[in-house]
Amino acid sequence: MSFLAWIVLGLVAGFIGSKIVNSRGEGIVLDVVLGIVGAVVGGWLFSTFGASRVTGLNLYSLFVAVIGAVVVLVAYHAIRRAV
C-alpha cells in the first residue's frame, strides 16, 4: 500500500474512531496520526487472532483500522486522564 493510501486510510479511520470514542474528534493531525497507528495496531491484533491484516483501500481494511484506532484512542485517553 502506498504512503498516500496509508494517510487516507488513517484519516478516515482516525475520524471514525474519534467519533466512536469521544464524539468530537481530536483534530485533523492527531486523528491522522492515531488512525495510522490504529491501522498498524489493528493489523497486528487481527493477525494475532488469525484474521487477515490491512490489505489495501477497502472496507475490510477500514474496519481493521477503525478497530485499531478505537483501541489506540481508548489507551490515549486513559493515559491523558492519568497525567
Q: How far apart are CA 16 and CA 31, in angstroms?
A: 9
Q: How far apart are CA 28 and CA 18, in angstroms?
A: 10
| pLDDT score for 53 | 67
Domain boundaries, the chain: 3-82
Per-residue pLDDT tens listing for the chain (83 residues): 677 777 788 788 888 888 888 776 667 777 778 877 887 888 888 888 877 766 777 888 888 888 888 888 888 888 888 87
Q: How far apart are CA 66 and CA 45, in angstroms?
A: 12
- Cβ–Cβ under 8 Å, residues 35 and 13: yes
Radius of gyration from C-alpha coordinates of the chain: 12
| DSSP state, residue 49 | T
